[in-house]
Amino acid sequence: MKDIETIADIRLFVDDFYARVRRDELIGPIFATVIKGDWQPHLNRMYSFWNAALFNVPGFKGNPFAKHAPLQIGQQHFDQWLALFNATINAHFEGPMANDAQNRAKLMADLFVYKLGKMNNPGNIIL
């Protein structure tokens, strides 16, 4: 098995990952309420996002957290998202970039859960 090396590799894992997401009973319906009809614009943004994250290629603009903030999602949703992401990467790749993608996804999931928790419970002090 090879590592993630090109934009074609990113397209492969993004396409497979979102196919898994659409079939998932927990998070599939959440995505379906936000992405109606044509998924290609979302996929294109995800290609750009992961190309920037993994290969430092300019082109992604946006605030991913702002898109997620209004949704009724929490730890269980991000756990499932991460499980699907890791399974997708493991199905196609191995190596330092594959590990980096999984680490970045975990960091992002943890950050989103933390920020959503603070938004929904602003009085809580997390030590």
Query: What tens digit of pLDDT does each residue of 14-42 get?
Result: 999 999 999 999 999 999 999 999 999 99
Task: List, as one string, the DSSP characters of 68-114.
Answer: HTTS---HHHHHHHHHHHHHHHHHHB-SHHHHHHHHHHHHHHHHHHH
Mean pLDDT of 62-85: 90
For 13, half-sphere exposure in the C-beta direction (CA atoms, 13 angstrom radius) is 31
- Would you say how long the chain is, in residues? 127
For the stretch 88-121, pLDDT in tens is: 999 999 999 999 999 999 999 999 999 988 776 6
Residue 62 DSSP code: -
43-64 b/e (C-beta count within 10 Å ≥ 16 → b): bebbbbbbbebbeeeeeeeeee
Structurally, the chain folds into a number of domains equal to: 1
Q: What is the CATH number of the domain that holds 76?
A: 1.10.490.10
Does a structural domain hold residue 125? no
In the predicted model, what is the mean pLDDT of residues 75-88? 97
1 in a domain, yes or no? Answer: no
* Residue 107 included in any domain: yes
What's the domain range around 116? 7-120
Q: Is 2 domain-assigned?
A: no
